[in-house]
Amino acid sequence: MNELEIQNFWNQHPCGDLQVGGLQQRGGDYEAFFIDYDRFRYRKEAHILKCLDDIDFKGKQVLEIGLGQGADSEQIIKRGAIWSGLDLTPESVARIQTRLSLRQLPHQSVKQGSVLHIPYDDRSFDIVFSHGVLHHVPNILAAQREIHRVLKPDGELIVMLYARWSLNYMISIGILRRLGLLALHLTNRDPGSIYGQHLANARAMGLLSYLDMANFIHKNTDGPLNPYSKVYDLQTVKEDFPDFKVVRLYKRFMHAPLLPVHWQTLERVLGWHLWVHMRPT
């Protein structure tokens, strides 16, 4: 898979943009957009703030990879990190630079680039933090090698990856969405709608191939145009991050579209977000 395709997707679909009505649709009013975005994010995913509270960022050299709208970047800086950021897309970098300057957040640098070629020196960081990003990187072995290079030997990699053993993957995507597409595939839908895009994918690939989870997963985490996604459990983390050892792993976030579930008590068993703390070997 071509990284340019991935870059184009995220540049045209900045993470979470449309879920709060879009920056462009607000006439480019960044401040209003950031207020709405952060409110939306931390209402829906309140666990993120608690997880960040449990990480000691104070005075640490932190590299965040994959910035989206920069909501977590701001939170990490406010928790005392000496923060640097990296994102594949000019759009995300521009949004983060605007956020940092509007809110006068102290930081080291923000760069555009790929985790496959991290534009920082060896052994520069105490913490590399990457939330919801590395499961979108097909060449994960090269990515983790680069992260290992820029981390200090006693540093820590903290990531959020999508969880295989989750209600969202097993029931919502694995059963309900596939049945839904089977039921709809002979109907006509607006090509610009989500269903219309799924139907176009199914027609281009062949319905049965599209419904194979090896293909279907890419199109059911971040929208039907998303090029690549992977789900993880402890075993796949170990396989994909051979230069690290896992020191902590926990699930959060009961997210399962099509299922009316918000059973917070189940999130530790069947949550969609797998947080993993790793140390370089």
Ligand X SMILES: C[S@@+](CC[C@H](N)C(=O)[O-])C[C@H]1O[C@@H](n2cnc3c(N)ncnc32)[C@H](O)[C@@H]1O
Both tokens assigned to 238: 């170990």
CB of 136 to ligand X, least distance (A): 5
Contacts of 129 (CB under 8 A, 6+ apart): 55, 62, 63, 64, 65, 72, 76, 158, 159
CB of 55 to ligand X, least distance (A): 15
Query: Which residue from 123, 133, 188, 182 is spatially nearest to 161, judged by alpha carbons?
Result: 133
Q: Nearer to ligand X by C-beta: 159 or 256?
A: 159
Residue carrying the six token digits 């759009």 = 91
* CA 212 – CA 236 distance, rounded (Å): 19
Both tokens assigned to 203: 């027609």
CB of 189 to ligand X, least distance (A): 25
Q: Nearer to ligand X by C-beta: 148 or 199?
A: 148
| Structure letter (DSSP) for residue 61 | E
Return the number of other C-beta atoms located less than 10 Å from residue 239's C-beta.
11
Both tokens assigned to 159: 């990531």
Name residue 275's amino acid. W
* CA 255 – CA 270 distance, rounded (Å): 9
Query: Which residue from 73, 131, 129 is spatially nearest to 252, judged by alpha carbons?
Result: 131
Return the number of other C-beta atoms located less than 10 Å from residue 34's C-beta.
21
CB of 246 to ligand X, least distance (A): 20
CB of 133 to ligand X, least distance (A): 4
Per CB under 6 A, residues contacting ligand X are 6, 10, 15, 65-68, 72, 86-89, 92, 114-116, 131-133, 136-137, 222
CB of 260 to ligand X, least distance (A): 24
